């Protein structure tokens, strides 16, 4: 069942960047791609406890700040060692200048 929550305003995230969003004891990463689309994933790397919001967004890739593990933030796919487990992604929509994610 869908559970849409407001994560941030559109302008809170720079182009080709990521911010952290915490809600209900969970942590998420909200991305803005170079072509101004928004995406959301779990906040923490699946390798070790590092928050991806401190990482680097390059095209479709988020690179973890701790060990440089890379994921495709659009699909959650882990792109190779040291990350082997995919990242969970969440549906995103933009409404009235707000970025909404479905955390259900």
Partner 1 sequence: MTAASSTKRDYSLVGESTRRAIETGLASAEWYHTDVPRKTMKELMQRSDGPAIRDTIIWVVAILGSAAGTVWFWGTWWVVPFLFVYGVLYGSSSDSRWHECGHGTAFRTRWMNDVVYHIASFMLMRNPVQWRWSHARHHTDTIIVGRDAEIAVMRPPDLLKAALAFTGILDFRYSLPTLVRQAFGTLSDDEKSYIPQMEQHKAVIAARWHMVVYAATIAVAIALGSWIPLVLIGLPRLYGTWHMVLTGLLQHIGLADNVTDHRLNTRTVYMNPVSRFIYWNMNYHVEHHMFPMVPYHALPKLHELIKHDLPVANPSMWHAYREVWPVLLRQLKYEDFYLKRELPPTAKPYRGEFHDLDITAAAAE
Residue 74 or 82 with smaller CB distance to partner 1 = 82
Q: Residue 86 in contact with residue 73, Cβ under 8 Å?
A: no
Tell me whether the omega of the peptide bond preceding residue 83 falls within 30 degrees of 0, making it cis.
Answer: no
Distance in Å, CB of 68 to partner 1, minimum: 5
Edge-to-edge, what's the strand order for the sheet holding 61-63?
56-58, 61-63, 70-72
Residues whose CB falls within 8 Å of the CB of residue 14, separated by 6 or more in sequence, listed in order: 32
Q: Could you give the string, one character per residue 18-57, with x where binding to partner 1 holds by CB under 8 A and - elsewhere?
A: -----------------------------xxx-----xx-
Distance in Å, CB of 79 to partner 1, minimum: 8
Residues whose CB falls within 8 Å of the CB of residue 23, separated by 6 or more in sequence, listed in order: 5, 7, 103
Check residue 11 for interaction with partner 1 (CB under 8 A). no
Check residue 9 for interaction with partner 1 (CB under 8 A). no
Residues that bind partner 1 (CB under 8 A): 17, 47-49, 55-56, 58, 63, 65-68, 70, 79, 81-82, 84
């Amino acid at each position: 069942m869908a559970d849409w929550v407001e994560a941030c305003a559109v302008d809170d995230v720079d182009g080709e960047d990521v911010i952290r969003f915490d809600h209900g004891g969970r942590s998420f990463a909200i991305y803005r791609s170079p072509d101004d689309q928004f995406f959301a994933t779990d906040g923490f790397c699946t390798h070790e406890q590092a928050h991806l919001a401190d990482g680097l967004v390059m095209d479709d890739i988020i690179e973890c700040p701790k060990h440089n593990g890379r994921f495709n933030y659009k699909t959650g796919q882990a792109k190779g060692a040291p990350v082997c487990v995919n990242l969970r992604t969440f549906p995103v929509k933009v409404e009235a200048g707000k970025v909404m994610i479905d955390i259900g």
